[in-house]
């Protein structure tokens, strides 16, 4: 079993201070859920990852070529 990825503190702080222009006090009082909502309000909702069925369909539509791209 793999452990979850660590929380991306550097990116969160860059967004909170640089984009949202939050004070240190306001940033550190936010919950991760509040920060996620603020990020979504600016960037839009996160897209869901592609599922296996969608990947299989794309692979059928656009199969890999056996020929080299450059000679």
Number of domains observed in the structure of the chain: 1
Torsion angle of alpha carbons 38, 42, 44, 49, nearest 10°? -70
Give the model's confidence band at 3: pLDDT under 50 very low, under 70 low, under 90 confident, else very high: confident
Average pLDDT over residues 23-42: 93
Structure tokens at 15: 């967004």
SS3 content of the chain, % helix, strand, coil (to 5): 55, 0, 45
Q: Is residue 12 part of a domain?
A: yes
pLDDT score at 1: 75
Domain-embedded: residue 35? yes
In a domain, 61, yes or no: no
pLDDT digits (tens, 9 = 90+) for 45-60: 777 777 888 888 888 8
> Does a structural domain hold residue 26?
yes
Summarize the confidence of residues 19-37 as an average pLDDT. Answer: 94
Residue 54 lies in a domain: no
The answer to whether position 66 is within a domain reads no
Q: Can you give the residue range of the structural domain that contains 25? A: 8-45
Average pLDDT of the segment spanning 28-51:
87
Report yes or no on 16 lying in a domain: yes
């Amino acid at each position: 079993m793999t452990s979850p990825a660590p929380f991306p503190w550097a990116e969160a702080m860059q967004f909170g201070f640089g984009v949202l222009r939050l004070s240190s006090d306001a940033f550190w009082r936010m919950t991760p859920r509040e920060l996620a909502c603020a990020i979504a309000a600016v960037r839009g909702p996160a897209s869901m990852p592609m599922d296996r069925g969608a990947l299989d369909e794309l692979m059928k539509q656009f199969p890999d070529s056996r020929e080299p791209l450059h000679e």
